[in-house]
A and B are shown apart, each in its own frame.
Chain A
């Protein structure tokens, strides 16, 4: 397919999005990531039955925590696509990068830069 997608994204592979933990997402934000998204299998098609559904709930928890802190919850997102949807993968990457560009740098990094 040789589709291109923004180079701003660092991909971390996990066997299943069920492996993604609340702490992984929080630590990424804490370390200055402008945004984090989880790309899981389509709902109902998890090889491990419910890994992607659990990941969605964890993403929702982190969004709630960020809201409480006063950081835009849109910086964290859950997407679902199958491994055969390469075009959708690139589209999601562009969508997320566009969203983060609109939001601007993470407020955490902004403060650190100022200091």
Chain B
């Protein structure tokens, strides 16, 4: 899923300091799963903001709405009848949400309430870790199912590098050296020879370096499936 962290209350309050009536829009997708932009989090943010504004003697009216997803125009269209009733909208979806909203409702102002961080998963309750860099050419099968592009600080295709010490990356003592894990996993399964061949230079054309990407599925566009 896409993982995000909520912006601080003070930062969000500052964004709408001059507004009197706003909407907070959550999303039932990834940000609900990573506990940052679902119904619960939207309501908590609304209550916290109302308390803060009341304390300053500057009440604010806040409505909340949680969209099925903010990354699909059909769901974004679901707030067309109410979106004009507000001075601003705070979106607690990933960075995609406020953009889809801004593109559809051109006269409204949308603020991002979260910082979108990475594609990852929960390794335990409350802890999310990056697993995918969205490079566009998946090759994790070559590395024991562990991605060195996303999980190695240098995105090395051949590793580990000299900065690996006792399974830890030199960049951060809390970061495992994924190449150490890849080698160990291959040794455990008796397939270390898989790593002997030098992996060629990775083409980054499919990654972000080639500019914004688009995925086109003709069969869906034509409505055949």
Contacts and interface: CB of A to CB of B under 8 A. Distances in A.
Q: Is B truly associated with A?
A: yes
Interface of A: 22-23, 26-27, 29-30, 65-66, 68-71, 107-108, 111-112, 114-115
B54 interface: yes
B55 A111 contact: yes
Interface string B17-43: 000000000000000000000001001
B35 to A, nearest CB: 12
Nearest to A25: B47
B44 A30 contact: no
Interface size of B as a range: 10 to 19
B136 to A, nearest CB: 39
Interface of B: 8-10, 40, 43-44, 47-48, 50-52, 54-57
Contacts of A29: 51
A26 B55 contact: no
A69 to B, nearest CB: 4
Nearest to A106: B55
A69 B8 contact: no
Contacts of A22: 44
A27 B47 contact: yes
Contacts of B9: 65, 68-69
